[in-house]
Amino acid sequence: MKIGILTGGGDCPGLNAVIRAVVRKSIASGHQVYGIKKGWRGLMDKDFVELTIDSVSGILHRGGTILGSSRTNVYKEKDGEARAIQNLKDMGLDALVAIGGEDTLGVAAKLFKSGLKVVGVPKTIDNDLNATDYTFGFDTAVNVATEAIDRIHTTAESHNRVMVVEVMGRHAGWIAIHSGMAGGADIILIPEKPFDIEEVCDLLKQRHGRGKSFSIVCVAEGATPKEGSLVLQSLEKDSFGHVMLGGIGNIIAEEIEKRTGYETRATVLGHIQRGGSPTAYDRVLATRFGVKAAELVHDGNFGKMAALKGEKIIAVNLDDAVGVLKTVDDEFYEVAQTFFG
């Protein structure tokens, strides 16, 4: 077969490891692999290139994606679905491996129902895809955020400040809860649990009343106050209907300083969490996902996604992965709350 592969949505560490694994495994099975550039945009434009063993050599440790990505939504394009299916045929491709998160795989699931032979690989630093225990990219993002919190601890202590660290997480607080716990944050705010700014300030006052001179607040970008709504950078939406988040960390820092009198600063990690080399865990997980995806294509088992369950890589239905987001549960959050003071 001639197999296409694309990476869609936000980049994350481990994408190149998946590409490498799909290419190596597929070629070993007697197939050819073609990379489609810039995600679904490349499929719309018939922009592709053959991938060989040489072309994927030396990319395992690299962040980002050698194929490029985009936020293009096939279903927002004129006659997008029909064009996507026809373009794949015109390029002479028999099947497609789509690597992405909820949006990218949501498109893949719809295209499969319309006749496209597609297999998915779960990618998102937010770790919010259902039907898989973990997505690759998440471990790297958590390690980056944890290191940042570790570093901020020293400057917070030196200046007797409250430091607010904003991490990624639109609808799910997995990065915030993991990095906050690992970095010893004193308060963690996530989208799943609307917060009361007065309660946040009271906790900080109690902590400082016990003699502590500094505090760390870790907040997910999608965290919302009980009395308000999302803090937005812009009301403009992307092709998947998502608004641009950001700024909640600065708002919280301003409120804390105003209500407590404690000198407070905010640090927004943003896309730093997406960049750089993947951790060893993400390299291995991405590689295993890639090999599984190649096997699913070889076996003609389409409409599936490679997933991690326990220690095993299994196949699950694409619909099961994108139907509902996986969010932080009460039990996990209660463990974190133990250390809020």
Q: Is the pLDDT of residue 230 over 60?
A: no
Q: What is the mean pLDDT of residues 198-225?
A: 93
Q: Which of 103, 126, 139, 186 is catalytic?
A: 126
Pick from 123, 100, 110, 36: nearest CA to 77:
110
Q: pLDDT for 174-194, tens place per residue?
A: 999 999 999 999 999 999 999
Q: If one looks up domain 139-275 in CATH, what number appears?
A: 3.40.50.460
The predicted pLDDT at position 232 comes to 47
Amino acid identity for residue 91 in this structure: M
Q: What is the mean pLDDT of residues 93-116?
A: 94
46: left (phi over 0), alpha (psi -120 to 50) or beta: left
* Average pLDDT over all residues of the chain: 92
Query: Percentage of the chain surpassing pLDDT 90?
Result: 82
pLDDT band with cut points at 50, 70 and 90 for residue 228: low
Q: pLDDT for 48-60, tens place per residue?
A: 999 999 999 999 9
Domain ranges of the chain: 2-136+278-322, 139-275
Q: If one looks up domain 2-136+278-322 in CATH, what number appears?
A: 3.40.50.450
The predicted pLDDT at position 157 comes to 85
Q: pLDDT for 14-48, tens place per residue?
A: 999 999 999 999 999 999 999 999 999 999 999 99
| Active site (annotated) includes residue 126 | yes
The predicted pLDDT at position 244 comes to 52
The DSSP annotation for 255-320 comes to HHHHHH---EEEEE-GGGGT-SPPPHHHHHHHHHHHHHHHHHHHTT--SEEEEEETTEEEEEEHHH
What is the distance between the alpha carbons of residues 125 and 309, in angstroms, rounded to a whole number? 18
Same fold, 2-136+278-322 and 139-275: yes
Q: pLDDT for 130-158, tens place per residue?
A: 999 999 999 999 999 999 999 999 988 88
What is the distance between the alpha carbons of residues 294 and 209, in angstroms, rounded to a whole number? 58
Q: Is the pLDDT of residue 340 over 90?
A: no
Q: pLDDT for 285-333, tens place per residue?
A: 999 999 999 999 999 999 999 999 999 999 999 999 998 899 999 999 9
Pick from 129, 182, 169: nearest CA to 273:
169
Residue keyed to tokens 């070629």: 27
b/e per residue, 254-289, with b = 16+ CB within 10 A? ebbbebbebebbbbbbeeebbebbbbebbbebbbbb
pLDDT band with cut points at 50, 70 and 90 for residue 10: confident
Prediction pTM value: 0.90
